[in-house]
Chain A
Amino acid sequence: MTEGRVPTGSEGVEMLRYGHTAMACRFEIAAFGRDRQYMVDAAEEAFRAVDRVEEELSVYRAASEISRINALAATRSVRVSPPVFRLIERALVLSGLTQGAFDITVGPLIRLWGFFEGRGRNPGQEETGQTLKLTGRERVLLDADDFSIRFDREGVEINLGGFGKGYAVDCAAETLLECGLREALVHAGTSTVRAVGAGPGGGGWRVGIRHPRRTGERWGEMTLVNESLSTSGDYEQFFEGGGRRFGHVLDPRTGWPADGTMSASVVTASAADSDALSTAAMVLGQKSFESLDFGGLPVRAVFITQGDIDEREIDYPA
């Protein structure tokens, strides 16, 4: 994903690459420093922060805060820790900023389309319409006085998904900073990466954007300085039917898979935000995304659409 060279003139500096499996993907930290064991200790501390995030946010952990909310919030208010409350609050703000294109309540729709089970199906308009009644940020009621959360009806659920993974990347990066590491890169899978510092040599971290149709190839590159990059693509999971390709990124407003964009990459300060915004960018497409008001949040985006790729070169997976 990035260049892993120690710059010349940096005697005693070495690069550490350290990995950890969490949230169903491989987290990796690349760091530069003079004390290898110190970097290992810091990386382990950062991964402990990731594990704590997974424990609190994963819908696959029965004891997580999100599981508790999903189990109980339709019948009563559920008190959560202030950090989780603020995270959910931020997710709802981002949902508003993106006019609903990013939505943490989209779970029932993803299930309807069979993407949780890894095999897609087209449910049709009626079922989709029914399920849409269970989604939308209006379904989630927050009480900031008591840090409690309630759903306005049965069947609503929240799933922080990639946003939670981005938040875990943020927590890991902040832990590295607290440990005094000034040059590091943290990524979760290959979809979200956060750069700490300006990279070896000080010219920024050069991070690749994958080719949406050619596995293992880069389509381009972006340079990050204390920023995060997230990429959302139609290649991650999809099915084909009726001569159409249905990607796993659903448009929460219509209940149908987003169409027209092969991949959207968004750069902003925090990895949680870049993760949410890349999903929204994928749903909205370039024109609509660029017309959004981000309220002063610096955002850069790169879109790859059908027109950007020479169709003869497209390497569809079997």
Chain B
Amino acid sequence: MSEKSITRRDFLKGSAAAVATASAGRAMAQGTGSPASRRPSLVRAAIIGPGSQGTMLLGQAVKIPGVKFVAVCDIYDPHREKALKVAEGAEPYTDYRKMLERKDIDAVVIATPLYLHAPMTIDALNAGKHVFCEKMMAYTVDQAKAMGRAAKSTKKILQLGHQRHANEGYHHAYRMINQDKVCGKVTQIKAQWHRNGSWRRAIPDPAYEKLLNWRMYKEYSHGLMAELGSHQIDVVNWFLNAVPISVMAAGGIDYWKDGRSTYDNISVIFEYPNGVKCVYTSITTNEHEGYTEEFMGDQGTLIVNPDKGLLFREPKADSLVWAPLAHKDASKGKDAIILDAGATRKDREKSEGEAITSAKKNDYYEELVEFFDCVRTGKEPRCNPQVALNACVPCIMANKAAETGKKIKLTPKMYEI
């Protein structure tokens, strides 16, 4: 079987299921489903690693009807204490294994440093818990595959935290590129996450430096590619219905000489099937470009991020029938169609029909609503182990390519759970 057929099949299957589960999840979340769905059965949950990201997730999860957080686990006292204010009444733990022994816990949210994702997720699955694990999936490719296999063998839900799958704007952009073909044939992608700052947490006690600034150290994290880039490679994979077949990269610790061992900048070229390239950069010294994914085709360019999408048609492209109905914005000296206007009149009517509850939602809230919905129904989450592995492999290999200075071929076997 060719690389292309494996990846296309896997992805098309994944995305078709995604659209269906998305609607069901939303109906439940908004209380617009059947009377039974308005009173979902109680799911008892726990969190491991409520640091900055974990506490934010916890803050969203505690709002979900039918979910009760009964335990929080962290070895760092201030984080655990803060989490107990968000999940009032939960029991505190410092040993996650002890917490997992509790029979009344149905689901666990894991937001620990990257290198702990796999052992904790596998332990939780084996303890009979459903797991929502933050991105990136795992520290090594083998670990990520083991997580996928553990989910399958235990028949438990494993959802990973690439929350763009919970953003309706991205689904809209996917349809515009893949069904409406607003960009024509997509040949090139440019994506970046540019910040201007140390990306370092201010830690008062140096004893906790590596525990809390784990993103800075190679033995715990893959730095920018894992923590930022994996979100965007996930989107590129999703939109292209493909995975990268090779990667080359250059990176360095060139500005922040503060003892870190993960790169403070990296520039990567991912090669996809049929000659499509994705140029990806992540830097920490300039935030002018922020974070976007830009899909360039022979008919147009679509620029997306979680808040907004802009479509620029090529001068030679025919005008779109629905373009006069769309909202427009001047950007980069050109007229852009704002994505949220809807590709069709039908889309616009639908969004108006959803009235107030269709107002902009929080992606973290929505991904967790989906997770707990999957826990109840047994449905496959959109960001399932295969989708997450497909983002994990290229990001780990991008760092390896930068370290070795070599172009690395990414084989279909690497993406097989």
Chain A interface (Cβ < 8 Å from any Cβ of B):
37-42, 44-45, 48, 52, 55-56, 61-63, 65, 67, 71-72, 76, 79-83, 147, 178-181
Contact = CB atoms under 8 A, between A and B. Distances in A.
Contacts of A39: 202
B31 A76 contact: yes
Contacts of A72: 356-357
Contact of A83 (B78, B86, B360): B86
B201 interface: yes
B63 A80 contact: yes
Contacts of B63: 65, 79-81
Contacts of B258: 37
B200 A63 contact: no
Contacts of A180: 202, 204-205
Given A63-B359, A71-B357, A41 B204 contact: no
Contacts of A82: 62, 85-88
Interface in B121-144: none
B78 A41 contact: no
Kindly state the interface size class of chain B when it binds its partner. 20 to 34
Contacts of B414: none
A75 to B, nearest CB: 10
Nearest to A48: B52
Contacts of B359: 62-63, 67, 71
B31 A38 contact: no
Nearest to A174: B82
Contact of B62 (A62, A147, A178): A147
Nearest to A146: B65
A56 B204 CA distance: 28
Interface of B: 31, 52, 56, 59-60, 62-65, 78, 85-88, 197-198, 200-205, 258, 356-357, 359-362, 365
Contacts of B202: 38-39, 41-42, 45, 179-181
- Most chain B Cβ neighbours within 10 Å, of A39, A71, A81: A81
Contacts of B31: 76
12 contacts: A40-B197, A48-B52, A61-B360, A63-B359, A67-B359, A79-B65, A82-B62, A82-B88, A83-B85, A179-B202, A179-B204, A181-B202
Q: Is the interface of A mostly helix, strand, loop or mixed?
A: helix
The 7 closest A-B CB pairs, nearest first, are A180-B204, A42-B202, A62-B359, A179-B202, A41-B202, A62-B360, A82-B88
Contacts of B64: 79
B56 A41 contact: no
A41 B201 contact: yes
Q: Quick one: which of A38, A40, A42, A82 has the most chain B CB within 10 A?
A: A82
Contacts of A80: 63
A61 B52 CA distance: 22
B78 A178 contact: yes
Nearest to A42: B202
B47 to A, nearest CB: 13
